[in-house]
A and B are shown apart, each in its own frame.
Chain A
Amino acid sequence: QLQLQESGPGLVKPSETLSLTCTVSGGSISRSDYYWGWIRQPPGRGLEWIGSIYYSGTTYYNPSLKSRVTISVDTSKNQFSLKLTSVTAADTAVYYCARHLRTGGRYLFDYWGQGTLVTVSA
């Protein structure tokens, strides 16, 4: 069974960089047809896709966050990572990593991590 687990600091100061890692187990991150994505959910609010990466390094980002987001992949560790720069309180959210199917006109998230709360505060 595929499992994803987010890890990283739960508290980040304003203007600093949020960094999270997702570790994939039970399957290879290098499997074709699948991207690996980050989605966030501010407290009490809806879901927002941040961006996704293919094992080759190809990335797609939400245009509204693109200037601040970098997603990278480490196939040797079966991990992918998120960096979000210049954070503000508006970036406080539960951050989820997920497997992202992007093929044949189909764009969906079929496996999710449990999520990790990141609070932006001084």
Chain B
Amino acid sequence: QSVLTQPPSVSGAPGQRVTISCTGGSSNIGAGYDVHWYQQLPGSAPKLLIYDYSGRPSGVPDRFSGSRSGTSASLAITWLQAEDEADYYCQSYDSSLREVFGGGTKLTVL
């Protein structure tokens, strides 16, 4: 059971918009710690996708965006493309557990 909760899977057709949620608690997101998102393409290492809820590292398309609401964070992907099919992980800091990851969400592009 992960400290940060993500849906196991989401799906969408090319061109559509999907969102992935990441729900935490008072010792992590609710305590004000930032949330970051990673994309893991099949057979590859994770890659930093979004930092500090909504920042994008150089080279990440603006189709990817992040937001926060209370003790949750969300990743949105617009104009879905086949190459977006991957696993997505949220990550934050927990005052008792240190660095923590969500359980991961598998995105399927239909």
Contact = CB atoms under 8 A, between A and B. Distances in A.
B45 A107 contact: no
B22 to A, nearest CB: 12
Nearest to B57: A110
Among A52, A63, A109, chain B packs the most CB atoms within 10 A around the CB of: A109
A105 interface: yes
A44 B98 CA distance: 23
Contacts of A100: 99
A43 interface: no
A12 B46 CA distance: 24
Interface stretch (B13-21, B68-76, B78-86, B87-95): B87-95
A47 B2 CA distance: 10
A107 B32 CA distance: 12
A46 B104 contact: yes
B103 A46 contact: yes
A114 B45 contact: yes
Contacts of A108: 34, 36, 48, 51, 91
A46 B92 contact: no
Given A47-B46, A49-B100, A107 B57 contact: no
15 contacts: A46-B89, A46-B103, A47-B46, A47-B101, A96-B45, A105-B32, A107-B92, A108-B48, A109-B36, A109-B46, A109-B48, A110-B51, A110-B57, A113-B45, A114-B45
Which 7 A-B pairs give the minimum distances between C-beta atoms? A49-B99, A107-B93, A47-B101, A112-B45, A46-B104, A108-B36, A46-B103
Interface of A: 37, 46-49, 52, 60-63, 96, 100, 105-110, 112-115
